[in-house]
Amino acid sequence: MKRTEREKEFSQRMISRRALLLGGVQLGVAGSLMWRLRDMQLNQAEQFHLLAEENRINLRLLPPTRGLIFDRKGVLIAGNEQNYRVVMKRDDAGDIDLVLSRLAQLIRLSDDDIERARRDMLRNRPFVPVTVAERLSWEEISRVASNAPALPGVTPEMGLSRYYPLYEDMAHVVGYVGPVSERDLEALEAPDPVLLIPRFQIGKSGVERMQEDQLRGRAGSQRVEVNAVGRVMRELDRVEGTPGGNLHLTIDAKLQNYAIERLHGLSAAAVVLDATNGDILALASGPSFDPNLFVRGISSTAFRGLLDNDFRPLVNKTVQGLYPPGSTFKMVTALAALEAGVTDGQERVFCPGHMDVSGNRFHCWKRGGHGRVGLVSALSESCDVYMYEMAQRCGIDKINEMSTRLGLGIRYELPITSVSAGLNPTREWKQRNRNSDWRIGDTVNASIGQGFVLASPLQLAVMTARLATNKAILPRLLRDPIDRAERESASLDLRPEWLRLIRRGMVETVNDRRGTAYSSRVVADGQLMAGKTGTSQVFSITRAEREAGIRRQEDLPWNRRNHALFVDFAPYDDPRIAVAIVVEHGGGGSSAAAPVGRDITLAALNGGVPPLSAYPSPQRNRIRAEQLDLEERLRTPEALRVSRA
């Protein structure tokens, strides 16, 4: 049907409106697109450039160089050595099982190594490099490099690894490093990003652990350009990290080596202090272990062997081991009685070989008794009955106060792990921990270092240094090689006449014919030694064992025998060295611990193997034979050469 002119005009107007509306929409869309393109090109160009760069450029952390550890004279005791290793990234490797299989044909890789590497790659993000093998030879690393096209994602590298050149000597002091564990990360609120690098090593024990923040340093960074499959094409930028700080210990590596070898074959501990300032010159715990085994990866068999060893080589007995101090505690009891005013040190007490207290009989080690003894002879001959009498007069409170004053029962803040506080028992302690009242028998036992009293070899050495100097000596392990100013220790304010009696008792212990350590005396001029023996009971011989004929310590199993102890200082007139020795289950202090203490004291005074002239002439042939055997094990001067930081 033919449309009228009016209808045609109306239709044209409608089409024009729609065209205008559609054109407007098209123009708006085009304008928006143009505006967005302009914004992206001008305002957001830098942001998109960075996004593109992130797809082409990788940023990697560079592990810092760990700080070195030296002894007091500059001998290197913890350093770093070159370490050829192979790393692998999961996102570049593709089929990781295939690549690991190929790699195993080129280098030594056990099934455990392959499984560990596979587990680490699946646990971490795809672009994180994982160490597959380390400590490779030059030939092995060369084979990997030459076969690189067949090993996608695999990169040979050269890094640094921790190394302990003195092996067993410093294991308990310096400790060792190991890979970061989940427990390590959980213990930190904000872990350093470098700790997330697989198999990155941190301190696990000893100084390495306690000074981790100073030794670790700060990581560097590396920017590298990668291709479409992630292979590194070139290095664009590198910022080296900050190396960890170096440490100097107060330990004398030569003396430490002598002490370790002198303890050879024993489960024992030896501590040597500079009596003038508290510097720890030796901290030897035997037997020891090679910390390098833990750095390189110790086998389960070797680790189980260390754990199952009755001599407990993994335990630092010098600070962690706690022992009844036995008769080495008698100086504490004697001083407590003097300060309490219950004796003047001159009166004599009769020792019949025992004392009855509250219906119980307490024996003296000398069954026949010592007769009438004064304070000096009670120390030199180690009379128990004299101490029983003094303890009952002054009481446990005075004994506890003097013990604390002399440095026992205190946890010293040293940069090593597992430092024990020991135990200075009090009435309150027993009520709180044993739910029992303190009894007079407890005081009697404590007077001779038995019962609840426990001390570490370090604490006994501190006690000895304080007795020798009348100063509140504090042990120190870290040393500032630049600041040579001597620390001034506070006075203990013990009356000189009391200390003269105590020191006289100690010097007669070693140098009087009736002294318990007379066979371990020193005859060299200017090196007169004062000391005290101790024997602490571990188990009593039961009635059944006595009826079976077991009457001596030597008849008991090793782990039920008494501990042997000895403390000393020298020279007597000008104390420079304080020493404490504990021989676990060694029997008597005079026979097992005192000879060790004398040798280590002489080594400290003479700077090495003691001269034969320091020993009584009847003993020199035997001593020389012992020295020849020991000298074969001592480190050579070359092994103890001074290194430069």
Dihedral sign, Cα of residue 460, residue 465, residue 471, residue 474? negative
Burial of 610 (0-12, 13-18, 19+ CB in 10 A): buried
**Three-class secondary structure assignment of 183-217:** HHHHCCCCCCHHHHCCCCEEECCHHHHHCHHHHHC
Q: Which two tokens stand for residue 237?
A: 């930028």
Q: Which two tokens stand for residue 541?
A: 């011989």
User: Going by C-beta distance under 8 Å and a sequence separation of 6 or more, which residues neighbour residue 136?
Assistant: 84, 85, 86, 107, 108, 144
> How far apart are alpha carbons 234 and 228 in whole angstroms?
13
Q: Is the peptide bond before 287 cis (omega within 30 degrees of 0)?
A: yes
Give the chain's end-to-end CA distance (angstroms, integer).
108
> Around Cβ 102, how many Cβ atoms within 10 Å?
15
> How far apart are alpha carbons 414 and 318 in whole angstroms?
12
Helix pair 253-262, 620-631: axis angle to 10 deg: 110
DSSP conformation class of 63: P
* Bridge partners (DSSP) listed for residue 133: 86
- Which DSSP string corresponds to 483-541? --PPPPPPB----HHHHHHHHHHHHHHHHSTTSTTGGG---STT---EEEEEEE-SSPP
Given the residues 161, 205, 267, 327, select the one marked as catalytic.
327
Rounded (10°) CA dihedral 400, 403, 404, 405? 120
Is 327 one of the annotated active-site residues of the chain? yes
User: Going by C-beta distance under 8 Å and a sequence separation of 6 or more, which residues neighbour residue 475?
Assistant: 273, 278, 280, 412, 414, 458, 461, 462
Judge whether 441 and 229 are in contact, CB under 8 Å: no
Q: Which two tokens stand for residue 265?
A: 């074959």
The C-alpha angle with vertex 411 and arms to 407 and 416, in degrees rounded to 5, equals: 120
Place of tokens 């001269």: 611
- Helix (H) or strand (E) holding 582, with range, is strand 577-583
> How far apart are alpha carbons 431 and 1 in whole angstroms?
119
Q: Which two tokens stand for residue 408?
A: 């026992």
Q: Which residues are catalytic?
A: 327
